[in-house]
A = this chain, B = another copy of it.
Amino acid sequence: MNQDSILRALVADNLVSDPTSARGRLLHEAARLFRDKGYERTTVRDLAAAVGIQSGSLFHHFRTKEEILKAVMVETIRLNTALMQAAVDAAETDRDKLQALVRAELESINGQTGEAMAVLVFEWRSLSEASQAYVLRLRDIYEQLWLDVLEALRHAGMLAAEPFVVRRMLTGALSWTVTWYRPDGGLTLDDLTEQVVAMMGLKASRA
């Protein structure tokens, strides 16, 4: 399963919008605008202009502006959960699984879905409470992928801190790369992955 086929499978199940459809293009532009200017500073007129329609026509596709924000977040989580799952499945050892997760999350934050991931981090409070609860449930699935791997490492004596603390620190550290990492800065995502794993100082397995 490569990235493209994972995306296609989700589109087929109607869990993610086809990027070439009107809805898909709007969500992509919305993610970019929300990241660049913030949700509140982005007007429905901005969103409409970005896809070349009138502001009123937006409401043919979405009932409210907030629904657009929610859709950006929901679809992003769905896609990345599937990508993460594939990354974990493809790795052999727990250490490799962790490295694969770090690499995949860095990719999701700084690659194709980067705009949407930044929105997920920085525009959280602009979601209504009901939407927050919904997105949170999706996020839990995603987080469990991490915790399973970290707990295995902890159990093997390779991890010096509590898995849930480690995961939260990693969430912050990796999310934050969106504010400073630039692929043309002489540091590849592989380099970065290596540095992160090195920094964590995993010990040799007791087993």
Contacts and interface: CB of A to CB of B under 8 A. Distances in A.
Interface residues of A, number: 34
A41 B128 CA distance: 13
Contact of A192 (B37, B165, B174, B192): B165
A190 to B, nearest CB: 13
A169 interface: yes
A73 B19 CA distance: 39
Contacts of A173: 168-170, 172-173, 176
B177 A168 contact: yes
B168 A180 contact: yes
Contacts of A37: 125
Interface in A134-180: 160-162, 165-166, 168-177, 179-180
Contact of A122 (B122, B174, B195, B203): B122
A200 B199 CA distance: 6
